[in-house]
Structure 1
Amino acid sequence: MLEAVMLWNEPNNKSHWDPEIDPDWFLFGEMVKDASRAIRAEAPGLPQVLGGISPIDPGFMRRMQAQGVLDGLDAVAVHGFPLDWNLWQIHEWPQKIAEIRAVTHLPVWVSEVGVSSFGAEEVQAWGCRRTAELLKGQAPRIHWYSLYDLPLEWGATTRHKEAEGSSYYRHFHMGLLRQDGTPKLALEDFARCTPDFGLCQWFHFEDPRLDEAVAWMKRLGVTHLRTGLSWADSFRPNALDWFDRQMEALADFQVTATFCFTPEHRGIAAHHTSAPLVRAEFSEFCAAMVRRYAEPARVRAEAMPEMPLP
């Protein structure tokens, strides 16, 4: 069921990895190396991708390279939202990818790119069209974030929440569909970009939108999807039942599963951004998920070169 696995999400963003606990990312690097080896033992040909970085920082990638973190991986990834959060303009997309290509030999994925409708739906629609023009031929995988608006009552995964002002509230307007499932203007523009564009859609534990999301993705011509399997969620009651249901529902797509989120009781600090107390436990979670969901017929050593450029 897996096309690839991604190790963590936005490790250089303090909303996803705590730099006070691990200021030089040594603990992060060792965790990723251990997890990569554990996954490779289970599925030698399954492509492994470093969690998409945000901001796009060549210095961070050089650090990962120097620590040997990239040695066992097959690709790296970047996240960019220049119309909402980044301090650069949308037309700089090719330059930003080139900056990362210059410091690593690995392919560069765009595992999250999107535009919010916070100001106006017309801005999101234009942003989708312009992003497609700028990223054409630039990356073997492009995942648009996201299909659905994030329900306000669920809260966004950020460090400072409402204290971030409008930056926080933009998180709730990134979808091509509103919270109630009705389409926005950008939906038709996105449909013209598939299958070159995939989607990034995070599903919450026992997410009621799952089946409807699958129907929409098929209608839109989506073929590849990035989502997450949460280490923290694995400690919930009936976690495997939910993981099985999610992965079965997504079986018709080429899925990149992101492994991330530290369980509060297994972190150095009681927070999902914390380095784990015992990093082998994250490796064990990753290996267990790969054993369960990496269909042998699709785990091929040549999988990465077969990923076409859009």
Structure 2
Amino acid sequence: MMHSAMVWNEPNNKSHWDPEVDPDWVLFAETARLAGEAIRAESSQVTRVLGGMSPIDPLFLRKMEQRGVLGQMDAVAVHGFPLDWNLWQIDEWPAKIAEIEAATELPVWVSEVGASSFGSEEVQAWAVGRTAGLLKDRSPRVHWYSLYDLPREWEATTRHREAEGSSYYRHFHMGLLRQDGSPKPAVEAFGAHGEGLGICQWFHFEDHRLDEAVAWLRRLGVRRLRTGISWADSYRPGALAWFDRQMAALEEFEVTVTFCFTPEHRGRAPHHTSAPLVIEEFAAFCASMTRRYAA
């Protein structure tokens, strides 16, 4: 079931936290701090992780330290995609980890790292092996993003699609598997080099891929999985039934559950990236999900 809880996803990225509502992350810091307290009150065993930074930014982390957030976390996380979106090279990964280690004594997880097959499936396969070599022994948790390509009929979680150009469409080609479930060359590379790597796979509400994904995770020997439980989805009819089904299907894995996404009617702006109107409501959601799913 749930072994660790991640508080939000890429909070320092405008695709996931609205800078117009909270330009200096003051509201986010209070949201994360209260969520960390709430998770700990429900379980002393669950590892609390500050949601993966993207970009990797020690100054953001120091602000979280100053505002009491890191006192309610057991690890911090970073995300990196140097072959697709970041302005640094893949071989800089160890230095990027070191930047964050210099800013905190907490363990540094890599909760999303990946490469798209947008330009070349062979380049993606090479990136799996290179990433494994750079990070497996450098971070206590490394999650490859992702198992599946994002279906073309869906939308990537982003607030600025029109401004992204080809960068937007790379979101749809990050999987080891194509949209139809057929394997890319990266699957073989993951099997050869990925021992110790986890997978990050977001499951959408009532996702039709869930059972097939579990079969592939077993086949690949994956033990650690990162996914999400959406606060916004919790207001849908049948939400708890879906959350229960998802977590039951994933019971054999060491699951990191990411709590994020504001319901439109509970945000300071009507968008899933907005700070909550009542910060305590997000903390209460985190507490209820921890109580329900903690191992």
One fold, TM greater than 0.5? yes
Partner of 1:121: 121
TM-score w.r.t. length of structure 1? 0.94
Q: Is the 8 A contact 1:194 1:221 kept in 2?
A: no
Q: Which runs of 5+ in 2 are unaligned?
A: none
Instruction: State the distance in 2 between where 1:39 and 1:260 align.
Output: 14
Matching of residue 43 in structure 1 with residue 47 in structure 2: no
Partner of 1:57: 57
Q: Distance in 2 between matches of 1:15 and 1:181?
A: 27
**Matched residues in 1 for 2:136 and 2:251: separation?**
27
SS at match of 1:157: coil
- For residues 91 and 42 of structure 1, what CA distance do their matches in structure 2 show? 40
Q: For residue 202 of structure 2, what is the aligned residue in structure 1?
A: 202
Gaps of 5+ in 1: 296-310
- 1:100-115 aligned within 5 A: 100-115=100-115
After superposition, the Cα gap between the structure-2 partners of 1:270 and 1:232, relative to the gap in structure 1 and judged at 3 Å, is same
Instruction: Give, in angstroms, the shift of residue 24 of structure 1.
Output: 1.1
SS where residue 52 of structure 2 aligns? Answer: coil
Partner of 2:267: 267
C-alpha contact 1:93 1:135 (8 A) present in aligned 2: yes
- Residue identity opposite 1:269 in structure 2: A
- Residue 108 of structure 1 deviates from its aligned partner by 0.1
Kept in 2: contact 1:162–1:169 (CA 8 A): no
Q: How does 1:138-149 map to 2 (within 5 A)?
A: 138-149=138-149
Tell me the CA shift for residue 20 of structure 1. Answer: 1.0
Letter in 2 for 1:86: N
Within-5 A mapping of 1:214-233: 214-233=214-233
**What is the count of residue pairs matched by the alignment?**
295
- What is the CA distance between 1:195 and its match in structure 2? 3.7
Structure 1 residue 192: deviation in Å? 2.2
Following superposition, the deviation at residue 191 of structure 1 comes to 1.4
Q: What SS does the aligned partner of 1:274 have?
A: coil
Tell me, in whole angstroms, the C-alpha distance in 1 between the residues paired with 2:112 and 2:136: 15
Q: Give yes or no for the alignment of 1:160 onto 2:160.
A: yes
State the shift of 1:2 in Å. Answer: 1.0
Any idea what the Cα deviations from partners look like across 1:158-203, whole Å, max 9, x if unmatched? 1111431010000000000000000001101111234410000000
Who is 1:16 aligned against? Answer: 16
**Residue correspondence of structure 1 range 215-254 to structure 2 within 5 A:** 215-254=215-254
The amino acid of 2:72's aligned partner reads G
**Residue 133 of structure 1, CA deviation:** 1.1
Cα distance in 1 between the residues matched to 2:226 and 2:265: 27
Distance, in Å, in 2 between the alignment partners of 1:251 and 1:192 is 25
SS at match of 2:72: coil
Question: Does structure 1 residue 289 correspond to structure 2 residue 289?
Answer: yes
Question: C-alpha distance in 2, partners of 1:236/1:263?
Answer: 10
Q: Aligned AA for 2:221?
A: G
Offset at residue 72 of structure 1 (A): 1.4
Q: Which residue of 1 aligns with 2:96?
A: 96
Q: Which residue of 1 aligns with 2:173?
A: 173
Distance 1:45 1:217 in 2: 25
Which residue of structure 2 aligns with residue 278 of structure 1? 278
Give the conservation status (yes or no) of the 8 Å contact 1:195–1:223: no
The CA RMSD over aligned residues, in Å, is 0.7
Share of identical aligned residues, percent?
72
Shift of 1:67: 1.1
Does residue 4 of the first structure (1) align with residue 7 of the second (2)? no
Task: Give TM-score scaled by structure 2 length.
Answer: 0.99
1:283-309: CA deviation from partner (whole Å, max 9, x where unpaired): 1110010010012xxxxxxxxxxxxxx
Deviations 1:88-117 (A, max 9, x none): 000000000000000001000000000000
Deviation at 1:229, TM superposition (A): 0.2
Extract structure 1 runs of 4+ deviating beyond 3 A. none
Q: What SS is found at the alignment partner of 1:49?
A: strand
The aligned counterpart of 1:84 is 84
1:192 counterpart SS class: helix
Secondary structure of 2:242's counterpart equals helix
